[in-house]
Amino acid sequence: MRIIVAGGDGFCGWPTALYLSKQGHDVTIVDNLVRRKYDDELRSNSVTPIATLEDRVAKWKEVSGKEIKTFIGDLNHYDFLSEVFRQTEPEAFVHFAEQRSAPYSMIDREHAVYTQTNNVMGNLNVLYAIKEFAPECHLIKLGTMGEYGTPNIDIEEGYIEIEHKGRKDTLPYPKQPGSFYHLSKVHDSHNIMFACKIWGIRATDLNQGIVYGLHTAETRLDPMLVNRVDYDGVFGTALNRFVNQAAIGHDITVYGSGGQTRAFLNIEDTVRCVEIAAENPADQGEFRVFNQFTEWFSVQDLAERVQKIAKEEGLDTQVKKIENPRIENEDHYYNAVNTKLRDLGLEPHLLTDDVIRDILRTAVENKNRIIEENVLPSITWK
C-alpha cells in the first residue's frame, strides 16, 4: 500500500513510518521539521540524541534494505501538498503533522493562533488534496481523547445515542476540550466529518490517549533510529516527565491533587493501531472514530509507580504536589470505551514495571542532556 506519514519525523510519526515500511508498505514521510524548531524556541531538547531526518532514512535503508521517500514542506502550502499527492498517489494518508502540545498552545495569543491555523488549515488542505487528487485515499487522522474532556458519563467511541422528547438519534459525542490545542482537534473532527458527508471521503479518526514508551522493534535496530523523548513542561507528557525527573534526582511533581485520570497507550500499540486502520479502511463517505488507548491511570498513580521503580534502581526521589498550572477537574469520573481496535486485532502492550524501567534507564544514560530548569511547568492557563 502507498502510505504517506505526515509528521513522520516526530515522536509518533517516526516509529510508525519505520513499522509500516518493515511491513512492506511503500512509505513516504512528509514533514516541515518544525518539531525540531520548537526545541530551539523553548531552549529544550530530546533526552535521546536525534539524527537528522536525512540520516535517519539513510540508516533505515542500510539496516532494512527498504527505502522511505521524504518530502520536506508544510501542509499549509497547498501547491507543495498537491505535488506530493501527484507524485505519490497515496492510498492512505496518516496525519500526525500537527502542533501537539496543550501548554504550547496556551503560551499566548500568538501560539494559540499558530496552533489553530497550523492544525485546522493544514488538515483542510489534506481533505481538499484527497478530494482533488486521490478520492479513494483513506485519511487516518490522529485525534485525541482530550477532545472529550472528563464528562460525568461514560465516553463512547465517537458517537452516542440520544433520546430527547420521545425521539432518538445517534449524534457525535459531545466535546469538552481543555486547551486551544484540543479545540483544534475538535475543529478537525468536525471538518473531516463534513468532508466525508459531502465528498464521500473515507476517514478514521484515532482519538489517541497519552503515548508513553520509547522503543519499537524497528527503532532498536540502530542508535541512529532511536525515537525522541520529551521531558520538559511543554512537550513532556506525564509519565515521561516523571521518569526524567527521577533520573536526575528531582522531585516528581504532580499537578494539584493528582486525581486527573487520562487514557494511555504504549508507542508499540500506536504503530499497530495505524496499521489496523490502514488494513481495514473506513467505507466511502464514512467518518469512523476509534478510541485509541489501552489503559487509564491517575497522575498520582503514575507518579507513585515511577517512584517505586526509581527506588529499585537506586534513585531516591519524592512525589511532590505543586499548584496546577492548568484549568481542569482534578477529581472526576472516567470510564471510556475502547473496543473497536481490539475487535480488529489489537493485542495491547500494557504499562509494566519493565516498560517504566526501560525508559528510566535510557533517561539515566542520557541525564547529562536533561536541562533541569525545564522539568517544571512554565505556562499557566490563567
Inside any domain, residue 379: no
CATH of the domain at 200: 3.40.50.720
| Distance from the Cα of residue 82 to its chain's centroid | 25
**Chain centre distance of CA 378:** 22
Is residue 382 included in any domain, yes or no? Answer: no
Cell of 210: 497519552
- Residue 381 inside a domain? The answer is no
- Residue 204 resides in a domain: yes
What is the separation, in whole angstroms, between the first and last Cα of the chain? 46
Looking at residue 181, its amino acid is Y
Whether 304 maps to a domain, the answer reads yes
**Among 65, 78, 85, which residue's Cα sits nearest to residue 221?**
65
* Identity at 364, one-letter amino acid code: V
Q: Between 299-312 and 353-365, two packed helices, what is the crossing angle to 10 degrees?
A: 70
DSSP string, 328-374: S-SS----B---HHHHTT-------HHHHHHHHHHHHHTGGG--GGG
Question: Could you give the residue ranges of the DSSP H alpha helices within 142-266?
Answer: 180-199, 238-247
Task: Say if residues 263 and 145 touch (Cβ distance below 8 Å).
Answer: yes
All residue ranges of the chain with pLDDT < 70 are none
Domain of 310 in residue numbering reads as 2-374
In a domain, 380, yes or no: no
pLDDT of residue 147: 98
Does a structural domain hold residue 31? yes
* Beta strands at 202-208 and 287-292: parallel, antiparallel or unpaired: parallel
d(CA 349, CA 329): 28
> What pLDDT is stored for residue 379 in this prediction?
98
Cell numbers at 146, concatenated: 482530550
Task: Report how far residue 241's alpha carbon sits from residue 252's, in angstroms, rounded to the nearest whole number.
Answer: 8
Phi-psi region of 26 (alpha: psi -120 to 50; beta: other; left: phi over 0): beta
Helices 122-133 & 180-199 angle (0-180, nearest 10) = 20
Residues with active-site annotation: 144, 181, 185
pTM of the prediction?
A: 0.98
Q: Model confidence over 109-149: pLDDT tens digits?
A: 999 999 999 999 999 999 999 999 999 999 999 999 999 99
Beta-ladder partners of 319: 252
User: In sequence order, which ranges of the chain are alpha helices (DSSP H)?
Assistant: 13-22, 34-42, 53-64, 78-88, 102-105, 109-116, 122-133, 180-199, 238-247, 267-279, 299-312, 340-343, 353-365
The answer to whether the beta carbons of residues 140 and 274 sit under 8 Å apart is yes
Number of folded domains that form the chain: 1
Q: What is the pLDDT of residue 105?
A: 98
CB burial class (10 A; 0-12, 13-18, 19+) of residue 109? exposed
Show the CA angle centred on residue 158, arms to residues 284 and 240, nearest 5°. Answer: 115
